[in-house]
Homo-oligomer: A and B are copies of this chain.
Amino acid sequence: MRIELLTGAFASLKRSIDSGTETQRDAVKSIIEEVRQKGDAALFAFTEKFDGVSLSDLKVTEAETQAAYQELDPETADIIREAAANIRSYHEKQKRESWMTYKEDGTMLGQKITPLDAAGVYVPGGTAAYPSSVLMNVIPAQAAGVKRIVLVSPPNKEGTLPAGVLVAAKELGVEEIYKAGGAQAIAALAYGTETIRPVDKITGPGNIYVALAKREVFGDVAIDMIAGPSEIVVLADNTAVPGEVAADLLSQAEHDALASSVLVTDSMELAEAVSSEVKKQLETLPRREIASASIEDYGCIYVADSIDEAVEAVNELAPEHLEILTENPMELVGSIRHAGAIFLGRYSSEPVGDYFAGPNHVLPTNGTARFSSPLSVDDFIKKTSIISYSEKAFAQSAEKIAAFARLEGLEAHARAIEERLK
């Protein structure tokens, strides 16, 4: 039994990543080329063109940061500090050690963990400030041990960055903050300019131009995932509170008209109550236009015959965010094979994780939780295999290794081994 009480179709929830138009892709390529050729001059020109402000310096000064502290009320700075501490505590637990194994014959095999040299973080501009983007991208890099972290963000018409962003960056000790946005900022991070030295990996969300530029420089530098629209799935039984479920669905819907909010439940009573609560709560939302469009196109309530069937529906969707609002939510964690983040119980409303709890809010969207993970310390390290064979171990294996090489038709490989046996 599948009953769709909201109008979005369950089957339509898997959406393609926005690859942009031909015009957008060409624009991005030419912006990147221009930055590679002209460096800072290109950044200044594009900033004037796209952000409507003529800058004389790219780098944010200490005076600007101090002004941001004056602007932001102290309570907000405290909240940012507390959120940062929670996020740091969680990510520190993801750290891994290099290891080595020692065999009696003298062979040593291991894996060395090394942080990236430099990471670049893109923080979107626009109408709102995103200090949470600063925290969620910078802290994993710091926990990994990345020494050089570069933050870029498009300036507003006054040529400054939002106070919340600057305070968050300062609290984390980020030294290099540049006023540059769009594809031009991504190009600068990837290839460098006179002012901005290149980095090894670029993370952080952005508009279609930023996403296309990241895809374009991918390979020359590493990037995080190309994020699709945000999604939430709430898995609930009749113990869930309809008003809370509805509010959580709407918190995703307000992000983007393409965002998707789904309730999967075994209770028709809950389904009907949530459906009417969604409509009621929508009415007074400031971003109700966006949220209505999202609910209409990508909102869905699926009533399953059992919790087991509901769990299978969740695994089919592989959601970015999953809330479990059942009598014993922890019991179901083992059966969830695909989800970016799982929020358990009514006090783990999804926004708790967006800003504050500690886990990362950069999560796999669009069903990619089947094979992708939240942004983590692992994204800012690389591994190196260590192989040290002893003379004794070599002598025991040399002929076998040479035979294997010849089986694959690679004579010089066999001879490199045999050269040691002379």
A binding-site residues for B, Cβ under 8 Å:
17, 75-76, 79-80, 82-83, 90, 93-94, 96, 99, 101, 107-109, 111-112, 114, 116-117, 127-132, 164, 200-201, 219, 221-222, 226, 243-244, 247-248, 250-251, 253-255, 281, 285-287, 291, 329-330, 333, 336-360, 363-364, 368-374, 376, 378, 382-391, 393-394, 397, 400-405, 407-417, 419-420, 422
Contacts and interface: CB of A to CB of B under 8 A. Distances in A.
Nearest to A390: B347
Given A93-B99, A345-B388, 13 more contacts: A108-B344, A112-B342, A114-B337, A117-B370, A131-B407, A219-B226, A222-B368, A340-B385, A341-B386, A354-B405, A356-B404, A374-B385, A376-B383
B333 A250 contact: no
Given A93-B99, A250-B416, A371-B382, A397 B337 contact: no
A286 B370 CA distance: 45
A262 B342 CA distance: 49
B416 A336 contact: no
A347 B393 contact: yes
A79 to B, nearest CB: 5
- Which of A80, A107, A253 has the largest number of chain B CB atoms within 10 A? A107
Q: Of residues A82, A386, A414, which shows the largest number of chain B Cβ atoms within 10 Å of its Cβ?
A: A386
Contacts of A250: 412, 415-416
Interface centre among A127, A330, A354 (most CB of B within 10 A): A354
Contact of A348 (B356, B378, B388, B411): B388
Contact of A410 (B83, B254, B387): B254
Contacts of A339: 384
9 contacts: A219-B226, A222-B368, A285-B411, A336-B384, A342-B387, A349-B420, A354-B413, A355-B408, A373-B383
Contact of A287 (B368, B376, B412): B412
A387 B109 contact: no
B75 A387 contact: no
A354 B101 CA distance: 19
Given A109-B357, A412-B251, A343 B387 contact: yes
Contacts of A407: 76, 129, 131, 164
Contact of A372 (B128, B248, B378, B382): B382
A352 B419 contact: no
A394 B347 contact: yes
A333 B112 contact: yes
Considering residues A82, A251, A255, which has the most beta carbons from chain B within 10 angstroms of its beta carbon? A251
B387 A219 contact: no
Nearest to A347: B394
A286 B416 contact: no
Contact of A109 (B90, B336, B382): B90
Nearest to A381: B373
A407 B75 CA distance: 12
Contact of A397 (B96, B201, B356): B356
A370 B416 CA distance: 27
8 closest A-B pairs by beta carbon, nearest first, are A359-B385, A128-B409, A347-B394, A344-B388, A341-B385, A222-B371, A373-B383, A254-B412
B341 A417 contact: no
Contact of A411 (B112, B254, B353): B254
A357 B387 contact: yes
Contacts of A378: 378, 383
Contacts of A343: 387-388
Contacts of A346: 420
